[in-house]
Each structure stands twice: as C-alpha cells, then as structure tokens.
Amino acid sequence: MGNPVLVALDQGTTSSRAIVFDMHGATLASHAIEFPQYYPQPGWVEHDPDDILNTQITALREAVRMSGVDVSDIAAIGITNQRETTLLWEKDTGRCVHNAIVWQCRRTAPYVEKLMAEGKSQLIKEKTGLVPDAYFSGTKLAYLLDTLNLHERAKAGQLCFGTVDTFLAWHLVEGRPHVTDATNAGRTMLFNLHTQQWDPELLDMLNIPAQVLPTVVDSAHVIGNLRPEILGRPIPVAAMAGDQHASLFGQACFTPGMVKNTYGTGCFMLMNTGDVPVESKNGLLTTMAWRLNGQPTYALEGSVFMGGATVQWLRDELKMIQTAAESEQLAESVPDTAGVFLVPAFTGLGAPHWDMYSRGTIVGMTRGTGRAHIVRAALEAICYQSYDLYAAMVADCDGREPVQMNVDGGASANSFMMQFQADIMGIPVVRPVVLETTALGAALLAGIGVGLYASKEEAASMVRPDLTFQPRMDKENRDLALYGWHRAIERAKGWVETR
Ligand code: ADP
C-alpha cells in the first residue's frame, strides 16, 4: 500500500461531488456532476433517486480516476449529504415508491400547521431542538405513507425510509445496511436529542411505524464495505454526517464556543455548544454537531435565506455585475455605501427576526447613489445577516463570545466580504486553505472511523488556515453601522399586508 488517501462523497442539492484527499487534508482530485431539479407544483421540489445515485457513483469513479491514486490506497470513504431530503423504498427491490422530496419542498406545510394548531410546537422543540417546519423529514415521510396509502406495508416491514445518507449507504455498501447517522437523524423531527433514539411519541404524532426507520449510528462508524463492483475493490465506508455538521467538523470546531459560517446560496452558521443541548431563546435550532463513540456533541444553528443568492440576484436580475467575483472589486471601488442599506428579505427574514411578511428593500439612496454602492450594500447585507445570527448565538450562550469565526463556502472567496464580516463582528474571521470543508469533514470523520487518525485532534491538524481577517473597524463605527442596519431591517419588516 502506498500513501493512504480518503474519499468524501458530498451529495448536495444541485450536484453530487466526490473529492479525494491525502492524509494531510490536501485535495488530490474533485469531480462534481449536476442533476435536474423537478418542480411539480409551485413550492414543491423533487429529485429523481436514480439521478442522485448515478451522479454520485460517476463522480466517485471520475474523481478517483483523476487523482491517479491506486484504489488499494483508499483507506476509507465518508458520506456527507443534503439534509432532510426524504426517500422511501421497497426493501425487497430497492425501488423507490416516489421521487425524493427535497428539503426545500413546502408541500407538507399543512401537516406542520396542524401540529402547531394541536399545540405540539413546544413538545417538538424540547425533544428535537427543531422549530416545527416542513423542511424536516418527518412530515415528508408521513405525507408519503398517507398519500400512497402505505401504512400496512410499512408496518409489515416492507419499506425503508431514509435521508440521502441512508439511501446512499443502502445502495453503495455490501449487505445493504439500513442506517443513518445521528446528525441526519436529528433533522427528521422524529429523533430525540436527549435520549439519542427515535421518539415513540413523535412517531405516534405523525403516525409513522418504527419498522420503516433506519438504525442510528455514530458519525464516524464503519458501516461496511463499498460494493466491489463500484471501484473494483471493497473499501470501508466509515462516516456519515449531514453537510453542515461535516463542515463544522472539517473546520475543526471541536471546542465549545467555536463557530463556523458557510457562505453558499444561503448561509449556515453553527456553534459548538459541547455536551449540552442549548435551548435557543432567539429562534435558533438546537442540533447535533456529531456523535462519536456514542457521545453526542451539540450545536446551535441558524441560517440566512439569501446569502450568495443575493449576489446571483445582482447578476441575473439587476444585471449590475457579470460574475459573482466581480462584486468584490466593485464594492471596493467606493469607500462605503454612502448611507445605503439593502435588506434582501426576498422570501421573508429568518432567525433571529422570523418575519415571513418582510420583503426586500433598499434605503438611504440619494441622487449620488451608484451601482457600486448598491453592490457593496448587498455584500454588506450578507455580513449583517450573519452578524445577527452570531449575536443570537452569543446571547443564547450567556454572552460568551467566540475568539474567532471560521468561514467556508463559495462566497467566502470574497475577501472584501470576509474583511467586512470581521469588522462588523469585532472578531477575526479565518478562512481555510480547503474551502470544501464539508467534504473535508466527511473525509476526516472517515479517517477516524477506520482508525487512520487516533483522535479528532490528530485529524484536526489536517485543517490548515489560509487567511485571517482581523477586525479593523472601531467600536463607534461598528455600532453606527449596526444601528443603520437594524433601522433598515425595521423598514423591511411586515411589508406584505395580511389583511
Ligand atoms: P451552494 O453550495 O449553496 O450551491 P456555493 O458554496 O457553491 O453554494 O457558493 C455559490 C454562491 O456563492 C452563489 O450564490 C454565488 O453567487 C456566490 N459567490 C460565488 N463567488 C462569489 C464571490 N466571489 N463573491 C460573492 N459571492 C460569490
């Protein structure tokens, strides 16, 4: 055997990616394949399960081929995935009874409204750490069983439910294990964070028979061997974790108080809270960071709906820029926004504002306002929204401030934004060499799963910081900027009339 390498399968919402890493966390090859999105009705989103599986297998084969490594050098494979997306298949044939219902799909909103009307919100929050919402898998599974009339078959043990990690493991691993990891289980609204088990009361509430559920395992755990026909050899599949959890791990946010923010289409911020699940008083979710050796580590999570998507909007709708990257140069061509604030509340505002009736607005414009000011205000808005999540997390943790924030995701390549983020938060922002921290996290977890690394601390030495953005704004200007932002937020709130 030559130098051992690790492979991550990163099954995302729009593409399936595979990355080959060396043991030191350097990327040897990466390949991603996009697949179609289906929108059968407004607000509904589906994936074809065959697309998920086929693109993932092809991406794996292609990345391994491009890396030039010998298949016998692959020490382990880790899976990370789009969370909450729901699949249901026949145990005998593997045939899915329906397309995958994607996390974004709103079709089960009536289920959630019913649960809320029945006064179940607090129970759900206490047990799962989640705010009841159609995103989570539970109501999607209930919908499939109800609309396809599958309760009898489910009770008879003829059907398997899975999120994407479970679906991939079932198809890729010898012996067809029916397993999920604790981080993915935690996004179903059926899993009890405290007992670390499927919760009978929650199952009852949605009329879901326990027979359809996968076994819950640790995030680093040898599930079995990759089916040999895929790469020509059996290779241990040794980790599974939801994408945001893998990213927190890939950023080596191992100690309580460490926080990461991923700047993609939306932004996802997670803060490690250690071995206690912290209940948010500010509209954040309580979730698992990961589970190792049966021990859960918890996190607080918040998301910004319009992150990099705000930049896409500048490019595609306003045509103010031609490429996302150009926004950086344009923002830096002016010293400030000249008093302009842009609130991208296009689909309402999430944590900590939670106002679905707010809409986008631009305030503070004068006759001298130009394209660069608007673009700069848009980039700053991504940072302000992230700041608001951060402030909520700090408040939930009794005011304890992290020493730094780690960043990743496509839009974190924008150095203007990262500097502004550091300025507005008043703590350093650290960007790693490998921006694909989700995949790196899955690879590191797999390395731990097969014992290639003795501990997570040893694995963490593979995570290398690239650039640190030190805060440069003084407190007075910071307070002034945040004051302006919060005034702008008030203008955006409640815009849609409900009368
Ligand atoms: P996702 O995983 O959600 O598809 P990515 O991590 O690939 O997202 O990041 C893509 C997003 O980042 C897009 O919304 C894009 O507009 C934005 N983006 C990419 N590069 C830049 C940049 N240099 N500056 C600002 N935004 C960027």
Write down the CATH number for the domain with range 5-243: 3.30.420.40
- How confident is residue 101, by pLDDT bands cut at 50, 70 and 90? very high
Structure tokens at 255: 């100690």
CA distance 135 to 138: 9
Per the CB < 8 A criterion, the answer to whether 220 and 237 are in contact is: no
What mean pLDDT comes out for the span 360-368? 97
| Alpha carbon nearest to ligand 1 atom 13, residue | 308
Per the CB < 8 A criterion, the answer to whether 294 and 385 are in contact is: no
Q: How far apart, in Å, are the Cα atoms of 254 and each of 148, 244, 275, 287?
A: 43, 14, 11, 15
Residue 1 confidence (pLDDT): 60
Parse the chain into domains and list their residue ranges: 5-243
**Statement: residue 25 has pLDDT above 90:** no
Ligand 1 centre to CA of 342 (Å) is 18
**Statement: residue 137 has pLDDT above 90:** yes
At 187, phi and psi to the nearest 5? -105, 15
Residue pLDDT, tens place only, 224-276: 999 999 999 999 999 999 999 999 999 999 999 999 999 988 899 999 999 98
Residue 499 confidence (pLDDT): 63
Atom of ligand 1 nearest to the CA of 315: 16
| Alpha carbon nearest to ligand 1 atom 25, residue | 411
Ligand 1 centre to CA of 314 (Å) is 12
Closest residue by Cα to residue 435 from 76, 31, 27 = 27
| Alpha carbon nearest to ligand 1 atom 15, residue | 308
| Alpha helix stretches (DSSP H) within 11-71 | 49-67
Residues near ligand 1 (Cβ within 6 A):
14, 264-265, 308-309, 311-312, 324-325, 327-328, 409-411, 413-414
| Alpha carbon nearest to ligand 1 atom 21, residue | 411
Atom of ligand 1 nearest to the CA of 309: 14
Residue pLDDT, tens place only, 31-85: 999 999 899 988 888 999 999 999 999 999 999 999 999 999 999 999 999 999 9
| Alpha carbon nearest to ligand 1 atom 20, residue | 411
Give the range among 236-250, 314-328, 456-470 with minimum mean pLDDT.
Answer: 456-470
Q: What is the pLDDT of the chain when averaged over all its residues? A: 94
- How confident is residue 458, by pLDDT bands cut at 50, 70 and 90? confident
| Alpha carbon nearest to ligand 1 atom 8, residue | 264
What mean pLDDT comes out for the span 214-222? 96
Per the rule left: phi > 0, alpha: psi between -120 and 50, beta: everything else, 451 is left
DSSP 10: E
Residue pLDDT, tens place only, 373-387: 999 999 999 999 999
Ligand 1 centre to CA of 98 (Å) is 31
| Alpha carbon nearest to ligand 1 atom 26, residue | 411
pTM of full prediction above 0.85: yes
Among 311, 312, 431, name the best residue to mutate to test ligand 1's pocket (greatest count of ligand atoms within 8 A of Cβ): 311
Atom of ligand 1 nearest to the CA of 15: 4
